[in-house]
Amino acid sequence: MQWEAVDERRAIAHLTVSGISVSLEFSFNDNGEITGLYTEDRYGKFGDHYLKYPWEGRFRNYQIFSGMKIPTEGEVGWHLPGGWWLFWKGRIVAAEFEFR
């Protein structure tokens, strides 16, 4: 994975997995926490077809569980021609981590 700075609050991660290249733009707040994730090229199944649209994730309300600081609220969706389409929204109420 390679990182490319965009500005003080954003960076793009370029990675290749199984021959597929992906670029994701991360947004950070003053505490260095990830608040957003964006890509122009995310496939989704719309009707009977897989189509590529811009995709975004939004994350907030960081809390510490088992010594790990994680966002406890988030949502992801596509930017479709008709506007924002929320695909998933969730909230973490408890988390445990096992370190090996």
Instruction: Dump pLDDT digits (tens) for 22-49.
Output: 999 999 999 999 999 999 989 999 999 9
Residue 5 lies in a domain: no
Mean pLDDT, residues 56-75 taken together: 96
Q: Is residue 41 part of a domain?
A: yes
Residue-range definition of the domain harbouring residue 77 = 29-91
The pLDDT value recorded for residue 34 is 98
pLDDT at 64: 95
Burial 47-67 (b: 16+ CB within 10 A, else e): eeeeeebebbbbbeeeeeeee
User: Total domain count for the chain?
Assistant: 1
Q: Is residue 23 part of a domain?
A: no
The chain-wide mean pLDDT, for the chain, equals 95
pLDDT at 86: 97
Whether residue 97 is contained in a domain is answered as: no
pLDDT at 89: 98
From CA 25, how far away is CA 61, in angstroms rounded?
20
